[in-house]
Structure 1
Amino acid sequence: MRTVTGLDDLALLPPHPARFHFTYLDSDHLDARGRQHDSYSVEDQVPLPYPPQVVLISENKDTAIGFPRMRGGVAIEGEGRGASTIASALWVRSAPLVVYWGDLDQDGLEILNEFRAKGLTITSMLMDIETYERYQRYGTTQDRNGKPIKLHPPRDVPHLLEHEGELYQLLTSSTAPVPRVEQERIPLEVAEARLSELVKLAAFTRANPMRGTDR
């Protein structure tokens, strides 16, 4: 029908709200045979089985699904640009710690900037020059279709922190050894250890508000 009509969308189905998928990471919940995978639709008012204490937004679907257990944790499948949808969830906005972990590339950092632009107080994880240099040997110059990765002109990213902005400048320049290091190239145990550090740091900051740290 699309070939005959020349239309991209035949509008045969009623519109549905945007949604995202996520995985429960809390051991108590999972050991009690609680549901492991779930989804959220915009304006969904159904409460989660526990209030998330840490929300990890992972750009890679498989990484979110396979992330190790973490007390009070939820891992969201970011899958690209869905900042408005994810930011609409009250349980995301009210979580004590929200962390974004994306590819070390131009798009990943622009997505991080977009999440903050939507009002989320969000901490990045393993998205800095040190991590890039450590894993750049596993980087790629090709996209998922085997074609060369094309960089677009740098965008205004006012919500990136200094260390994130430095990586963005490198990745949008001609001096970057590779334009992309995919997050799945970083071992999950490394990510788990880093997230645990961020959880402890967030707890310390809440207990000592006068000694807070820049997020």
Structure 2
Amino acid sequence: MTSQQQLAKLEQQAKALAEQIEQLECQINNAQPTSGLLGRWATNSYGKQVLITADKPSLGRIETAYIERDGTTYEQAEDLDDLTFPEQTTRPQDVPVGEAWLVDAQDRVRTEKDVVALKTKDDLWTSSGFLEWTDDEVELITPLIPARPQDTPETVTTEEEYEALPEGTIVAENNGAPWQKLKSGEWISHIFPENRPDDLMDGLVCRILRRGWGE
């Protein structure tokens, strides 16, 4: 066998191995968790965000709870396979309004890589600089916050509240581009040419999308 033939054979083996690794990673990423579920948020088959109230499923079903807008709490058992966890979401249209994701975005004139984008309404994403994207222009990379109900989101308003938030925190006004806290303690959003210290964030009412780096 010539060197060229050996090289071609090795390249074929490497390609086959890469395909097997990709298939295995896909299976791992899409596998349903079987324990450690208590307190996690998920989306059920009806698009409702539910809180899991048991550590592990029983006979394939898991106890969940959710809150309606009138404050009424409901509990029910659901098939675990019908639940989708944030890290399993692959379609932008399946992301609930109010979540922040790291995405790649592209339309006919712009391409943005690894940007923080906020799902502000159905079929609409907002990224830094008030750039807007539709679902079909966005490719999801990773969620920046876990799914949770948006009825009573945690907010910050005062200088002291902004100062208390750790590095990596992401906040956003309603229908506004997200702000991220840098290591320096300043806030960046690319909306303004200069970063903002905590005192200049005072009075700006923002929802906390992710506290710290989400670890």
Taking structure 2 as the reference length, the TM-score comes to 0.27
Whose Rg is larger? 2
- Structure with more strand by fraction: 2
- Structure with more helix by fraction: 1
- Report 1 or 2 for greater relative contact order, CA contacts < 8 Å, sequence distance ≥ 6: 1
